[in-house]
Amino acid sequence: MTSEIQENTTETPLLPHPDSQQYAFFFDVDGTLAEIRDEPDAVSIPPEVRQHLQALFTASSGALALISGRPVEQLDQLVAPLILPAAGVHGAEMRDGEGQFHRVTLPAQMAKDVEQTLAAGMEKLPGTLLEVKGMAFALHYRQAMLHQQHVLELAESVVAKHPELVLQPGKCVIEIKPRGKDKGAAIYDFMQQPPFAGRLPVFVGDDLTDEKGFEVVNALNGISVKVGEGSSLAKYRVKHVRDVYQWLETLQRHATLSSSTTHTNTHTKESHS
Ligand SMILES: [Mg+2]
Q: How close is the Cα of 7 to the center of ligand 1, in Å?
A: 19
Catalytic residue (choose from 28, 30, 96, 207): 28
The confidence score (pLDDT) of residue 271 equals 42
Q: How close is the Cα of 28 to the center of ligand 1, in Å?
A: 5
Going by the DSSP 8-state scheme, the letter that residue 122 receives in this structure is H
Q: What is the mean pLDDT of residues 190-211?
A: 97
CATH class (in words) of the domain with range 19-103+181-264: alpha beta
Q: Report CA torsion sign: 30, 31, 32, 34.
A: positive
Report the share of the chain in percent with pLDDT over 70. Answer: 90
The confidence score (pLDDT) of residue 213 equals 98
**Whether 28 is catalytic:** yes
Q: How close is the Cα of 32 to the center of ligand 1, in Å?
A: 6
Q: Would you say 70 and 177 are in contact if contact means Cβ atoms under 8 Å apart?
A: no
**What order do you get walking across the sheet with 173-178 strand by strand?**
129-132, 137-140, 173-178, 165-170
Residues with CB under 5 A from ligand 1 (ion): 28, 30-31, 206-207
Q: Would you say 163 and 200 are in contact if contact means Cβ atoms under 8 Å apart?
A: no
The structural domains of the chain, with segments of one domain joined by +, span 19-103+181-264, 108-178
The confidence score (pLDDT) of residue 254 equals 84
Q: How close is the Cα of 70 to the center of ligand 1, in Å?
A: 10
Cα–Cα distance for residue pair 218/222, rounded to 1 Å: 5
Rg for the chain, CA atoms, rounded = 19
Residue 65 has pLDDT above 90, yes or no: yes
Those residues whose C-beta lies under 8 Å from the C-beta of residue 186, and which sit 6 or more positions away, are 67, 87, 90, 91, 94, 213
Cα–Cα distance for residue pair 92/170, rounded to 1 Å: 17
* pTM metric for this prediction: 0.86
> Which CATH superfamily does the domain covering 108-178 fall into?
Trehalose-6-phosphate phosphatase related protein; domain 2 (3.30.70.1020)
Q: Do domains 19-103+181-264 and 108-178 have the same CATH topology?
A: no
Cα–Cα distance for residue pair 55/62, rounded to 1 Å: 10
Those residues whose C-beta lies under 8 Å from the C-beta of residue 69, and which sit 6 or more positions away, are 30, 88, 89, 90, 136, 138, 168, 170, 173, 175, 209
The confidence score (pLDDT) of residue 262 equals 52
Q: How close is the Cα of 207 to the center of ligand 1, in Å?
A: 5
Q: What is the mean pLDDT of residues 126-144?
A: 94
